[in-house]
Structure 1
Amino acid sequence: MTTSLRSRPAGVAATAAALALAALAALAAPASASGPAQSTALPPASAARGGLAEPSPPTLPRPTGRYATGRDTLFLTDHERTDPWVPAAGPRQLLVSLTYPARPRTGGDPAPYMAEEEARLMLAQRGLEDVVPPELVSGTGTHARTAARPAPGRFPLVLLSPGFGTPRATLTGLAEELASRGYVVATADHPYESTGTRLPDGRVLTCAACDKVDAQPDEAARKKVLAAVSAGRAADFSFLLDRLTGPDPAWRHARTIDPHRVGMAGHSIGGNAASSTMAADRRVDAGVNLDGTFFDPVAARGLGGRPFLMLGTDPGHGPGSDTSWDDAWDRLDGFKRWLTVRDSGHFTFTDTPEIGEQLGIEDPDAPLSAARSTAITRSYVTAFFDRGLRGRPARLLNGPTPANPEVLFHRP
């Protein structure tokens, strides 16, 4: 069965980390429960480019929609819950990036990708701090601008949840694409569930939940903790919905959100969290699981006819490989699609392929190009939310297309 915790078990993660920035995703992926983190035998990034020049920071692909994009950051405290991983820390807190349709030529500089210390911790977790300079990762170019004025109108809201141990920054490209297509996107960092989360006061929280998983004596016990991660994230997003759409919203541009059109997508365990959130909160109208095992048994229940997309690796998430997908498929009771992508890897659906390729680092286990990884993720996720939240036709979801030969449709 394909696991989708922080990355993969250590032995598998060592190969997935061959994309030194899949370690970026793996970098977001802490050492696995089955063993210590392993270094990847790669040359320095400059050598990967032939040693001709020091590499410059990568740049995420430009969004394709008609809107310019802006970005705000919220730091929220849920006084009704204690942090589940570090109770001594007090109430549960969330860091949230809000990426939104903006008026053109407004705002300041492009929003930062991530803090350098977050990048360093992400790299160090995979033994890559001497392979990829953290400032290259943290300096990745984005397109959303800080303090941009929102575009007029009200827009559907999409919630994004990253993989276990992975910073929210690794879903920046998808967030910017959706915002350019007319969605407000709220991407959450779940404290103590990432290699590093820098708070506004400068403190950096590390992955206590990862330590909890690694301390379990067997796979059954690990799955139980991971189910708790997913259920906890469902509570995080219900709280976030309250703060974004309730009577006293926390975001200054909350008026741009249409609270009656809400979707959620997540990578790895964040994909499980999408189904867990839908099961717990009827306000979420559509969900997407990007290559994540379903650990939370609540997610195995039907979702009341609401649409759900499963988009994963091939063959890792084809029928009969990760059996949690077979079980979930049988229980999904609304519009549903099960798609897998040839030549993809666990982090194909994040920013990792673009960052790795621009730094001259290839992943032999995921030969799909960065351009195709980005195009497939953007087009299928957007088509799904256009259908589920806007009622638009989505021919892309009807079946295989010549333009996307890597995408396989499964109807078991």
Structure 2
Amino acid sequence: MKQIALTTAVIAVATAAPLTAENRIDGQSRDAPELAAYGDLPVGVRQIELVNQDQIDILAVDPTGETPTEFPRYDRPLTVEMWYPAAEGATGDTSLKAYLRDGTTEVTLEGRAMRDAAPADTSEPLPLLIMSHGYPGNRFLMSHLAENIASKGYVVASIDHTDSTYRTQAAFGSTLVNRSLDQLFVLDEMARINDDPTSDLSGLIDAENTGLLGYSMGGYGAIITAGGGVTETSVGYPWGAPQGTLGIHQAGSETHEALPDPRIKTAVAIGPWGMNTGFWDAEGLAGIEVPMLFIAGSEDETSLYEEGVRAIWEGATSVDRALLTFDGGGHNTAAPIPAPEESFYFNESLGFNVSEHYTDAVWDSVFMNNVAQHFVTSWLDVELKGDADKVAYLDLLEIGSDGVWSVNEDGTFGEDHSYWTGFGEGTADGLRYEVLGATLAPVPLPASVWMLGLALGGLGFVRRKRGV
């Protein structure tokens, strides 16, 4: 099956600008789909330090002792990297300092966003996208997507999840409990910053019109935040969250019923983890309240595909949703930046080559990133901006290679042209895009009908090389 994608992946050679630069996150493959191109707006980036006060200290909870009458609590620190449209003529350093998967090697990433640039003077606030990495990961893992989306008129807040980054990785229970809480806290903080008259970001952020994007464990959190309550069984996993602390996210509980935030209008989940280990059932997934785009590799051995990501997509029966599949792709499909040059070495303590945390065995990383940029752009523009012109980019034949490429002598498309909108000839091979409408059961809805509606209105994974 992995050979299916090779026809596209092999020719998807990165042509980052400038070509001589190293560790570029802004690469554009010669086969990149149309909406992968950067927008017209310059981009700024800045670091924000936040503290979520009085949270349960999951790491301090004794998993074997008696359940305490009160759980220990602490003030939870979170670092956020924010990308945003910058003022015309703004200047600033365009490099990012980030740590690799080994947690010790600091590298320099090169992009287009300017450090601490003055924000654009907009006539109205811009939609917000909150980004959430995997376990372990960091706020720069999807920086290619963050600055690309920001250049198109969005504010992007990417979270360093405490206890879950390369340098703070700790007990998995903290990640299970805190992902959704972190996401919603950052949403609150972005709203606060927007309303702060002393901030130069005041008036820039439309927190009332927010999207949520998560990869792997970030996708797990996004599903919970979107309304997908977890099972009673998962609350009791001995290797999971201690002393039933995950119960706040259990389907049907008062705490989980109160969790979904009406400011979040849509969510994107890339390789979301959890279904493969029984964290959701039909009841829990039916609780999802916002339209969702899922992105996955058909050979994902971490979150799984048929029994994992695809099963979540099928089970989210209360909402319209789509699934983009890279045939032959693994867990690293679309989300991670291209492997930094310094990551190509075998780490003895980890037991694998660090670059494997970022790369895919079949698909070219830059091309995958570009496809993700294209689909996330069209999805968010439809869901958060109501841009009817982007509907055509989501009204597609299910199998990319089934499309007919037909061009007239004058360069216009022929009447029989049915190839994916925005893709060049042959470049959608190995890709699938499927949609389901909100129903009581996962009954497929014709893409054209669904898009018209959009226009209107065990713990073995810990040892895996790429994380979750």
**1:58 pairs with 15, 23, 27, which one?**
23
CA distance in 2, matches of 1:268, 1:207: 15
Q: Is the 8 A contact 1:267 1:349 kept in 2?
A: no
Equivalence for 1:184: 155
Larger Rg: 2
With over 3 angstroms needed to count, the CA separation of the structure-2 counterparts of 1:195 and 1:357, relative to structure 1, is: closer
Alignment counterpart, residue 76 of structure 1, candidates 45, 50, 53: 50
Letter matched to residue 170 of structure 2: A
Counterpart-to-counterpart distance in 1, 2:26 and 2:342: 12
1:398 and 1:358 map into 2 onto residues whose CA distance is: 38
Cα distance in 2, alignment partners of residues 327 and 343 from structure 1: 19
Hey, what does 1:375 align to over in structure 2? 370
Task: Establish whether residue 265 from structure 1 lines up as the match of residue 213 from structure 2.
Answer: yes
Distance verdict in 2 for CA 1:358–1:387, change over 3 Å: farther
Within 5 A, what are the aligned runs for 1:4-83?
A: 57-61=22-26, 64-83=38-57
Larger deviation: 284-293 or 345-354?
345-354
Query: Of the candidates 274, 277, 281, which is equivalent to residue 222 of structure 2?
Result: 274
**Which residue identity does 1:286 align to in structure 2?**
T
Q: Deviations over 1:9-67 (max 9, x none)?
A: xxxxxxxxxxxxxxxxxxxxxxxxxxxxxxxxxxxxxxxxxxxxxx9741112661111
Q: Give yes or no for contact 2:39–2:152 (8 Å, CA) kept in 1.
A: yes
Matched, 1:286 2:255: no
- C-alpha separation in 2, matches of 1:299 and 1:160: 23
Match of residue 405, structure 1, among 424, 429, 434: 429
Q: 1:292 to 1:251 in 2, by over 3 A?
A: farther
Amino acid in the other structure paired with 2:392: R
Query: Are 2:294 and 1:310 equivalent residues in the alignment?
Result: yes
Q: Is 1:331 equivalent to 2:311 in the alignment?
A: no
Contact 2:299 2:327 in 1 (8 A): yes
Give, as a single letter, the amino acid of the residue that structure 1 aligns with 2:209: R
Question: What is the CA distance between 1:85 and its match in structure 2?
Answer: 2.8
Per the normalisation by structure 1, the TM-score is 0.68
- 2:81 partner amino acid: S
Q: How many Å separate the matches in 1 of 2:294 and 2:139?
A: 20
Q: State the SS of the aligned residue for 1:292.
A: coil
What corresponds to 1:104 in structure 2?
A: 88
Q: Is the 8 A contact 1:171 1:350 kept in 2?
A: yes
CA contact (8 A) 2:43 2:113 kept: yes
Call closer, same or farther: CA 1:188–1:358 in 2, change over 3 Å.
closer
CA distance in 1, matches of 2:359, 2:113: 32
Task: Report the Cα distance in structure 2 between the residues aligned to 1:383 and 1:262, rounded to whole angstroms.
Answer: 15
Kept after mapping to 2: 8 A contact 1:315/1:340: no
The AA in structure 2 aligned to 1:91 is: D
1:266, 1:372 → 2: CA distance?
19
Separation of aligned partners in 2, 1:316 and 1:339 = 13
Structure 2 residue aligned with 1:141: 110
1:241 matched to 2:187: yes
Return 5+ residue gaps in structure 2 as ranges. 1-19, 28-36, 62-71, 228-258, 346-354, 398-418, 436-443, 445-468
Note the C-alpha offset of 1:81: 1.3
Indicate if the aligned counterparts of 1:60 and 1:354 stay in contact, CA closer than 8 A. Answer: no
Count of paired positions: 317
Query: How far apart are the structure 2 equivalents of 1:370 and 1:331?
Result: 29
Contact 2:57 2:74 survives alignment (8 Å):
yes
Instruction: Report the Cα distance in structure 1 between the residues aligned to 2:199 and 2:328, rounded to whole angstroms.
Output: 40
| TM-score, length of structure 2 as denominator length | 0.61
Q: CA RMSD in A?
A: 3.2
Cα deviation, residue 72, structure 1: 1.3
Distance, in Å, in 1 between the alignment partners of 2:216 and 2:23 is 24
* 1:270 Cα deviation after fit: 0.5
The question of whether the paired residues in 2 share the 8 Å contact of 1:294 and 1:325 is answered with no
Distance 1:327 1:267, change over 3 A: closer
- How far, CA to CA, are the matches of 1:300 and 1:208 in structure 2? 28
CA distance in 1, matches of 2:206, 2:337: 31
Q: Percent of aligned positions with the same letter in both sequences? A: 24
